Amino acid sequence: MTNLFSTTQKNSGPVECLGQTFPSEYARREHFTKLLAEKLKDPAFRRIEGFPQGTDEAILAMSDPPYYTACPNPFLEEFVRHYGKPYDPSVRYSREPQTIDVSVGKTDPLYQAHAYHTKVPHLAIVPSILHYTEPGDVVLDGFAGSGMTGIAAQWCGAAPAAYRHELETEWRKQGKAAPAWGARRVILNDLSPAATFIAANQNVPFDVAAFAEASKKLLKEVAAEIGWMYETLHSDGKTKGRIEYTVWSQIYACPECVGEVNFVEQALDDETKRIKDTFPCPHCGAELTKKRMERLFDSNLDPAAGRTIQTPKRRPALISYSVGKTKYEKVPDANDLSVLAKIENLALPAELPKIEIPPMHMTHERARMDYSGITHIHHFFLPRAAQALGAMWKKANACTDDRTRQALLFFVEQAIWTSSVLNRFQPQGFKQVNKYLPGVYYVPAHHCEVSPWYAIGARGDRLAKIFSSFRPSAGSAIVSTGTANRINIQSESIDYVFTDPPFGENIYYADLNFLVESWHRVTTDAKPEAIVDRFKKKKLPEYQQLMQRCFVEYYRVLKPGRWMTVVFSNSKAAVWNAIQVALQQAGFVVAEVTALDKIQGSYRQVTSTTAVNQDLVISAYKPNGGLEDRFNQHGPTADSAWDFVQTHLKQLPAVKVTSGFPQELLNIVERDPRRIYDRMASWFIRHGTMVPISTPEFLAELPVRFRETDGMVFLPEQLVEYEKARARIPQVAQAELFVSDERSAIDWLTNFLLKRPSTRSEIHPEYIPQIGSAKRKGEIIPELDQLLEDNFLQYDGTGDVPSQIHSYLSTNHKDLRNLDKSNPALVAKAKDRWYVPDPNKAHDLEKKREKTLLKEFEIYKTFTGRKIKESRLEVLRTGFRAAWASKDYATIISIANKLPDETLQEDEKLLTLYDLALTRTEDGA
C-alpha cells in the first residue's frame, strides 16, 4: 500500500495557497511543514497557553499546514489577511437576531461521519451563517469540536437545490428575502487535538477515490495478517467461520458456595435476549443477583507497565460469527480458547500507546478506572483488539501520501472506542458497535469485543460516499489547536461567531479525548479547559473566568456591530448565569435568548433566569464603534444611556411571528422596558461606571423618547413595521412567563393586569398556581397583597374610571360600551379592580418601592449571623446597586459572603456586581 498512494499529492498539479502558487499539493505541504517545523523549535511558541503535549514529530504528523496544525496555527493571521475584509465602518450592516433549532440534521450522513461527544448538526448552523453573513465572509468557532461550523460554512455554497428551495420558502413565509448562497470562510479552533483532527479531516479536502481504495486495501491487508485471530470452527466441525464479535463476561463468586459464576452465561436469557435480574447459581442453586456476587480478579504481570496488575476476571461467553452471509452464535470451544491464549502471549504492538493515564476526573472521581484494572492506555484493550488496532494504525501510518494517511487515521480512529473494553454487550441491540456509555469511561460487566471488519468494515465506503457529495475546498477552512482565549488573528476581522462551548460540568472533553489522543501521541493541555471539574479544582467561578477570557477574545476579533450565536445546553441556573455574566463583562450585549419548544415546534423566548431544561440559543452582538466612541468621549451621562437604548433597539427584531397556523405575533421580551433597563445597566457596569439613570426615571422617560405599544418599546420606523404586521396578524401571543422570583411575579401580574384589570379575588386563583415549583430555594417572594400594593393601582370607586379599566370593560361587556367614565354602572363594575399605572404614576410608585427596598436592605447590612438563609432578591439587587453607586464595595462583598452560594450564583445581577466589587477591591480602587 505504501507505493500506491505516494503520488496523489505529488500529481495534483499547481495549487494556490495563501497567495502563493505551488507546483503541487505536495510542494505546498512541504513548504508550510518546513515553516511549522521551524516554528516548533521556538520555545516562546511552545510556551503559548493551551499548547498540546507532544513531540515536534508527532505534531507535524497530525498537521497539514497551513490548513491544519495540531498546535496553535501560526498561519491564521495570514489566512485572515488573505481572505478577510478589513473592518470598514462605512459599510452598512444590519441584522436582527436569528434563532436556530439545534435538533435538526441529526440523521444527516455528514453529521454521522464521525462521532464526537456532543455535536451541533451543520444543518442547524447553516441558516444562521446565511442570515448573518455574505459569501466569502469569515466565520469563527473557537470551541469547534468536530468542526460542524466549518461544514456549515462550506455547505452554504454546496447546498442542493431542494434544500435551497425549502429554506427560501420558509424565509419568505417569515417575510425574509432569500439569502446570498455561496461558501463562507471559516476559522475552527479547539483545545483538543482529537477534536481538531476530526474537524480538519472533515473540512480540508482529500482525494476521496484514493482514500476509498486505500481503506479497502488496509482492511484486506490486516485480514491477511491477523485474520487467523478471528477464525472459529462452524458447528459442522470443518467449515471456518469469521468472528464478528465475542462477548466477554466478568466472573463473580457465588456468596453461598464461592463457586465461579460466568455472569453472561447464567444471566442471559437465550430466547428473550434479556439479562435476567435473578438467576440460580450453577453450582449450588442459590438465587443470585449481580449485586449479591463478588467480582473476581486475575493478577498478571504487565511487561509494558513493568508490574503486576489486577484485572477483573473475564471469560469469553459467546461468539457471534458468520459463514458466508449467514450469522451464527456459539459458546467458545477449546480451539477458540487456545487461539486466545496464543494471542495473549504475543508482544503488544508498538503502535498501541502504553502510557499511564494521568489522574483525572474521569478516572478518579466519576469512574474509578483502577478498580477495573485500567491504569494505562493499553489496559483499555483486550489482547486481540490491541493487536487489531495496532495493525490498522500501523498500516494507516505507512501510507506515504500524507493527506490520504491522515484520512486513513481518521477512519481507523473510529474503531478505538468501540474496540475497547468500554463497548457494552447489548443482547437486544441490532449491531454491537459503538455501545460504550457516552460521555464517560465506564467498564461494563459484559463487554462485546468486535472484530475490525465488524467495527468499521462498511465505514470506508460510507465515508467515501459522504465526502464525494460534500467536497470541502482548499482554503475555505483553517483549523487550529489551542485555547479560545488566544486566537492569533487580527482585531475586528471576523464577520460572525458561532460557538458551542462546554457547559459547566457536563462533559470532560480533555479526559475523554485522552484515549484517542494517546494514539496520535499528542494530547490536550487541559489547564485552560473551560469546565467545572472538582478534580482539577475548577469550580464555577474559575469556569466563569475561563469563559470570560474566551468571550473577551471573541469580542476583540469580531467586527463592531456583528453578531455571535452561543448555544447553551445545561440545566443549571448557576451555569447559565455564569455564562451571561461572562458574556456581558466581555462587552457583548444579549439581544435574544430562545429555547426550542420541541412539542410545539416553536421558539420560546427565555425570560426567567432560573433552571432551564432545554438547549438555549443566545444571540449577542458587539456594539458598533460609534456607540463606544461616544461613550469614551462623554462618559456615563444620561445621554449615553439613551444613546445605548437607541443603538440596542436597532439590533432587536421589530416583528416576530409564530411559525404555526394561524400565525400569531410574538411579544418580544427584549423590548420590555425593564429588560431594556437591565441591558443598559449591564453595559455601564461592564464599563466600570455607575448607571447614570435610576430605574424610575428611566421607565418614566422611555415612552417619551421612544414608542411604546403592547408593552414593547420601538424606534419610530420599527413601530411602523410592527403596526403593519399587527394589522395583518391581530393575534398577539404573550411570552410565557414563569414566576420564579419577585421580579418575575411582578412581570406576570403586569401582563395579567394589562390584559384584564381585575379584583384581588379574580387575580388570586390565577396567580397562585404560577408560583411554587419554579421558586428558588431561599427566595422570599412577598405576598400577593403586598405585590399589588407596591406595584399597581387600585380603583376605589371615586372619580372617573381609569382609562385602562374603562377600555377593558367596554371591550368585554356590551352593556358597558359607550358610557361616560363617571357612569355609575361602569364605576360599580370597575371598583376594586387593580390596574397597571400609566408612566407618571408608575414613576412615583417605583420611587416609593425603591425606598422600601433600601430600608429592608439595611436589615441585611446589620445582620450578624453567619448565613442569610432566606432573602428577598429584589432587596438584594436594589441594595447592591445602591452600594455600587456609592462605591461601597465592602458592603456588597460582606453581604455576598453571607448568602448561600446558589443565591449569588443563580442571579446574574448580584453575581456581576459581586465580581466587580471584588475586582475593584483587589485593584485597590
Ligand X SMILES: C[S@@+](CC[C@H](N)C(=O)[O-])C[C@H]1O[C@@H](n2cnc3c(N)ncnc32)[C@H](O)[C@@H]1O
Reduce the DSSP state of residue 532 to 3 states and report it: coil
If one asks whether residue 373 binds ligand X (CB under 6 A), the answer comes out as: no
Least distance (Å) between residue 355 CB and ligand X:
20
Q: Binder to ligand X among 72, 390, 460, 501 (CB under 6 A)?
A: 501
User: Which string of DSSP letters, residue by residue, matches 49-61?
Assistant: TTPPBS-HHHHHH
If one asks whether residue 130 binds ligand X (CB under 6 A), the answer comes out as: no
If one asks whether residue 464 binds ligand X (CB under 6 A), the answer comes out as: no
If one asks whether residue 416 binds ligand X (CB under 6 A), the answer comes out as: no
If one asks whether residue 530 binds ligand X (CB under 6 A), the answer comes out as: yes
| Residue 601 falls in which region: left (phi positive, over 0), alpha (psi -120 to 50) or beta | left
Q: Which set of grid coordinates corresponds to residue 679?
A: 441591558
Long-range pairs, 693-697, Cβ under 8 A, ≥24: 693/638, 693/641, 694/850, 695/846, 695/850, 696/842, 696/843, 696/844, 696/846, 696/847, 696/850, 697/843
Least distance (Å) between residue 194 CB and ligand X:
8
Q: Binder to ligand X among 40, 120, 264, 739 (CB under 6 A)?
A: 120
- Give the relative orientation of helices 760-767 and 784-791 as an angle to the nearest 10 degrees: 120
Q: Which set of grid coordinates corresponds to residue 881?
A: 446597586
Least distance (Å) between residue 312 CB and ligand X:
30
Q: Binder to ligand X among 137, 336, 495, 529 (CB under 6 A)?
A: 529
Instruction: Report the amino acid identity of residue 496.
Output: Y
Contact 839, 700 (CB under 8 A): yes
Q: Which set of grid coordinates corresponds to residue 821?
A: 367614565
Q: Which stretch in 33-41, 82-90, 118-126, 753-761 sits in contact with ligand X by CB under 6 A?
A: 118-126
Strand partners, 593: 618
Q: What mask of x and - would describe binding to ligand X in positions 194 to 223, judged by CB under 6 A? A: -x----------------------------
Phi, psi of 123, deg, nearest 5: -70, -20
Cα(553)–Cα(914) distance, integer angstroms: 23
By C-beta, is 191 or 788 nearer to ligand X? 191
Q: Which set of grid coordinates corresponds to residue 564?
A: 455571535
Q: What mask of x and - would describe binding to ligand X in positions 829 to 868, judged by CB under 6 A? A: ----------------------------------------
Residue ranges in 171-190 that form contacts with ligand X under rule CB under 6 A? 189-190
Least distance (Å) between residue 600 CB and ligand X:
25
If one asks whether residue 191 binds ligand X (CB under 6 A), the answer comes out as: yes
Q: Binder to ligand X among 24, 118, 400, 426 (CB under 6 A)?
A: 118
Q: Binder to ligand X among 484, 494, 641, 654 (CB under 6 A)?
A: 484
* Site residue total, ligand X (CB under 6 A): 24
Least distance (Å) between residue 589 CB and ligand X:
23
If one asks whether residue 192 binds ligand X (CB under 6 A), the answer comes out as: yes
If one asks whether residue 615 binds ligand X (CB under 6 A), the answer comes out as: no
Neighbouring residues of 295: CB distance < 8 A, sequence distance ≥ 6: 250, 251, 252, 312, 313
Least distance (Å) between residue 499 CB and ligand X:
8
Cα(437)–Cα(418) distance, integer angstroms: 10
By C-beta, is 213 or 542 nearer to ligand X? 542
Contact 502, 582 (CB under 8 A): no
Reduce the DSSP state of residue 221 to 3 states and report it: helix
Nearest Cα to Cα of residue 109 among 93, 98, 122, 118? 122
Q: Binder to ligand X among 22, 26, 467, 509 (CB under 6 A)?
A: 509
If one asks whether residue 193 binds ligand X (CB under 6 A), the answer comes out as: no
Q: Binder to ligand X among 241, 502, 560, 757 (CB under 6 A)?
A: 502
By C-beta, is 409 or 484 nearer to ligand X? 484
By C-beta, is 190 or 742 nearer to ligand X? 190
By C-beta, is 427 or 501 nearer to ligand X? 501
By C-beta, is 501 or 692 nearer to ligand X? 501
Least distance (Å) between residue 502 CB and ligand X:
5
Least distance (Å) between residue 861 CB and ligand X:
39
Instruction: State the burial class of residue 554 (Cβ atoms within 10 Å of its Cβ: 0-12, 13-18, 19+).
Output: buried
Q: Which set of grid coordinates corresponds to residue 642?
A: 439613551
Q: Binder to ligand X among 114, 119, 447, 776 (CB under 6 A)?
A: 119
Cα(712)–Cα(655) distance, integer angstroms: 11
Least distance (Å) between residue 488 CB and ligand X:
13
If one asks whether residue 500 binds ligand X (CB under 6 A), the answer comes out as: yes
By C-beta, is 316 or 502 nearer to ligand X? 502
By C-beta, is 538 or 604 nearer to ligand X? 538
Least distance (Å) between residue 530 CB and ligand X:
4
If one asks whether residue 528 binds ligand X (CB under 6 A), the answer comes out as: yes
CA distances from 55 to 41, 482, 527, 714, 742 (A): 10, 16, 19, 58, 57
Contact 295, 312 (CB under 8 A): yes
Q: Which stretch in 381-389, 408-416, 453-461, 499-507 sits in contact with ligand X by CB under 6 A?
A: 499-507
If one asks whether residue 53 binds ligand X (CB under 6 A), the answer comes out as: no
Q: In degrees, to the nearest 5, what angle opens at C-alpha 516 toward C-alphas 5 and 75? A: 65
Number of Cβ within 10 Å of residue 664's Cβ equals 18
Q: What is the largest CA-CA distance in the chain?
A: 105
Q: What mask of x and - would describe binding to ligand X in positions 142 to 161, judged by CB under 6 A? A: xx-xx-x-------------
User: Which string of DSSP letters, residue by residue, matches 443-460?
Assistant: --SEEEEE-HHHHHTTHH
Contact 449, 245 (CB under 8 A): yes
If one asks whether residue 427 binds ligand X (CB under 6 A), the answer comes out as: no
Q: Which residue is nearest to ligand X (CB)?
A: 145
Phi, psi of 771, deg, nearest 5: -95, 170
By C-beta, is 142 or 390 nearer to ligand X? 142
In the complex, the residues that contact ligand X under the rule CB under 6 A are: 116, 118-120, 142-143, 145-146, 148, 189-192, 195, 483-484, 500-502, 509, 528-530, 550
